[in-house]
Every structure is written in structure tokens, then in C-alpha cells.
A and B are shown apart, each in its own frame.
Chain A
Amino acid sequence: MEGVEHVFERMVHDHQDRLYALGYALTGNRHDAEEVAQDTLLRAYRALVRYSPERIRELKQRAWLHRIAVNVVRNRNRRPGPRTVELNGSEQDAAPGPEARALRRIELDGVAAALACLPERYREAVVLRCVQDLSYAEAAEVLGQPVGTVKSNVHRGLRLLRGENDERFDS
């Protein structure tokens, strides 16, 4: 019989990178990304301690954690007060690697910033499908939307990211 602490420890180790990437893509910066990932995992823990062993065993961890993270980000965005604004590349690298790594980092910050400019519904769909590599069905489950809605939001989001105008934008 495995304790909930053990389940959670493994969950943290298995999903921390995915949740950090998700937070990064949804918020557009690394500082908020860590806050989102930490907040998501702590909420997950508070839920796990109330769940029955059967419910924990049957949990689809990836989809479940993604759903929590999407809600964490939505709540942050609705929060009053100034949001953290980060200048791309201004953050100190903890372990400065070779030049190539630093360049790649700046490039990724650019991608995340571009995502941050999308309307929320497009951003969520694009991030879950194209960044996190969830299937349309999984993304639809996470967002609580029909698969068709997710598909069209991904499509429109990608067109905007490619710099193409979408005449139906915000219609």
C-alpha cells in the first residue's frame, strides 16, 4: 500500500518539466512559469490527500494536472493588480552555458512572448496541442470544450502566430 506522499513525490518528479513548460507557454515568462508549476502541484497535493486510493489509482495524471494548471493561469489573469512584466533575456542565467544555449533561450523567450499576445482561448488551445503535444481529445477534455472548438482555435491561433491575418479574429 503506497502512501499519498509517495504518489505525490513521483508525480512531482514525473511532471515538473511538463508543467513548467506549460506555465512558460501560457504566461510568456519563466518567473511566472515556476509559480504556475508550483501552484499547480500544491493544489494537486491538497486534492490528493482528500481522494480515495481507488480514485488516485485511476487518475489520468497528465490531463488532470494540465486542467489544474490552465485554471491556475486563468485565475492569475483575472487577478486585479499589476502583472509581472519581464524583459526578454533580462533574467540572470543560473548556470551560463555556451553561447548557443543562451541564444536558444532568447529565441524561446520570443516564442513564449508571441504566444502571450494571442487571445486566451487561442493560446490555451495552441499550447496544449502544439507545445504540450496533447491529442485534440485530451486538449478538449482539459479545456472542457468540444473537440471541434479546440481544432478551430488551434488553427486560428497558428495562423496568427505565422503572421497571417484572420478576418474572423475577434468576431
Chain B
Amino acid sequence: MSVSTADLKRLGEVKAPAGMAERVLAGAGLADEYARFDTVIGAVYVAWNRNGLSAAARSRSADEFEAYFRAEVRRAVRPGTPSDEMAHRITDELSGKRTLRFDLRGLTEFEQAVLRKAREIPYGQVRPYSWVAREIGHPSAVRAVGTALANNPIPYFIPCHRVVRADGVIGNYGGGGPEAKKAILALEGVRVQQLADLARSGIRYQGVKTTGVYCYPTCHHGRRALQRNVVWLHDAAEARAAGFRPCKSCRPAAA
């Protein structure tokens, strides 16, 4: 046959077969893998790579999770088998032990700061959005904090559910809506209804007369105080006026 330069040029335009990039990355040990885990909050699909956990979602099927992963994380992902250690860490993490690492590449520095801060909130406690904003040094970026938490690629493990609105509304939740958020918090022992009632009546903090310290209501430092020693407070000014100082653990106000 006689071959022209136009034929040769067209040969150069062929595309690599689907899945080749994925196979290469897997060969280099860089591919994301995923598996389904049965956890305290039900079945969760979790993806990981050598940097740590990269995504989590309560998808209804493996196909749905793969589609979610490709759209959100924009990398290839394939089914895998987690090591025993990984499986244990995943179940431990959901009962409050913090041992996992996360792969947050692809997120902005601000988003990463928000998610790292959310992870500092202890199991069974909640903080308002404004607390996260203040703690990461952007006190006026409360809305941006909300957006960053809503786009958390690894819900449940990075506990964006522990960030709630100061006015008692539970707030939206990317991991399955407000009801799912309430359910997960209840599972962690947060008295969601009581918290909402307090917030709705304008109460933000609890002070303990014997220690002179005021905290967020879910902070574990104030939980053993006797009811008769507890003072409910509306804001930081009221707390200061009553002689309380902010708790150094939950940091209800800038030190």
C-alpha cells in the first residue's frame, strides 16, 4: 500500500484506550482504591491511596460511588481490598479515635484549613461555623467555611457534622441532609434536641460557678458540673461580666 503523510498524521491522532491511565497509576502504586465498609453509621464506600483516605460517601452501589468519585475527586478509582490495619482504622475513626491520614490534594489551602480544623473537634462535641472561621484566622469568612464543609470529600471521617449553626438550626449537611447530621451526632452522644432548644432561647455557653470557666455546651470540660453550679450564658460579654474566663480546650472566645 502507498502511505501518505496525511495518513501518518492521522495515525498520530489516535487516543489511548479507556482505563489506560488508571492501569498506569495502579502499576505505580498511585491509584485510588475503594471498598464498602459496614460501620456504625451503616454501609459507607471509602476510597484511599498511599497518602490516606481520599473520599467517602454513602452511595447505594459501587457504580454510584465510582461516578461520584470521578466527578468530585476527578481521578480514576478501582475496587480494592484494604489491609487489615486500614479496615481497623476506618472503624476506629468512626468511634472517635483519630488515626487516619487524609489526601486533600485538589482542595484549596482555605478548604484544607477548614477541614483540618473540623477534625480537631472531639467526638461527641459541636462548634459553630464562626468558631471554625475564627480559629483558622478568617473570622469574617463564616459563609466560606460553610461552603468548604459542604464540599468535604470525606464526610463522617472529617467530622463536618460537628459544625452547627449558632442559632440552634442544625444546618445543612453534604453527607445526607440535616436528618443524617442529627442521627450521626446522636450516635456520638450529642443531645441534639436539648442543644437546639438552648440555642433557640439565645443561650450559647455554659459557665461553671466552681471553676469560673465557661464552655460550649457540649465541651467535655463542663459536663461533670452539678446542675446547681451551672450558669447559662447568652454571649461572651455576659460571661466576662459574671467573672468567667473562656475554656482553654473549646475556646469559646479568642484568648
Please list the residues of chain A having a beta carbon within 8 angstroms of any beta carbon in chain B: 5-6, 8-9, 12-13, 16-21, 24-25, 30, 34, 37-38, 41-42, 45, 94, 104, 107-108, 110-112, 114-115, 126-127, 130-133, 158, 161-163
25 A-B pairs whose Cβ atoms sit less than 8 Å apart in the complex: A6-B105, A12-B21, A12-B25, A16-B21, A17-B15, A20-B16, A20-B17, A30-B17, A37-B16, A37-B20, A38-B20, A38-B23, A38-B24, A41-B24, A42-B24, A42-B28, A94-B18, A104-B10, A108-B14, A127-B8, A130-B8, A133-B9, A158-B5, A162-B2, A162-B3
Q: Is the CB of B9 within 8 A of A130?
A: yes
**B67 beta carbon closer than 8 Å to chain A:** no
Query: Which A residues touch B15, using CB under 8 A?
Result: 17, 20
Q: Is the CB of A114 within 8 A of B14?
A: no
Q: Is the CB of B16 within 8 A of A25?
A: no
**B1 beta carbon closer than 8 Å to chain A:** yes
**B136 beta carbon closer than 8 Å to chain A:** no
**B27 beta carbon closer than 8 Å to chain A:** yes
Contact with A25, one of B11, B27, B75 (Cβ below 8 angstroms): B11
B22's nearest neighbour on chain A, judged by CB, is: A12
Query: Which A residues touch B9, using CB under 8 A?
Result: 130-131, 133
**B7 beta carbon closer than 8 Å to chain A:** yes
Distance (Å) between the CB of A21 and the closest chain B CB? 5
Count of residues in B whose CB is under 8 Å from the partner chain: 29
B51-107, CB < 8 A from A = 51, 75, 105
CA distance A112 to B35 in the complex (A): 41
Q: Is the CB of B11 within 8 A of A108?
A: yes
**B137 beta carbon closer than 8 Å to chain A:** no
Query: Which A residues touch B169, using CB under 8 A?
Result: none
Contact with A94, one of B13, B17, B21 (Cβ below 8 angstroms): B17
CA distance A6 to B75 in the complex (A): 11
Query: Which B residues touch A161, using CB under 8 A?
Result: 2-3, 8
B75's nearest neighbour on chain A, judged by CB, is: A9
Q: Which 6 pairs show the lowest CB-CB distances between chains A and B?
A: A20-B16, A161-B3, A130-B8, A131-B12, A16-B16, A45-B28
CA distance A19 to B20 in the complex (A): 11
**B30 beta carbon closer than 8 Å to chain A:** yes
CA distance A20 to B16 in the complex (A): 5
Query: Which A residues touch B16, using CB under 8 A?
Result: 16-17, 19-20, 34, 37
CA distance A111 to B75 in the complex (A): 34
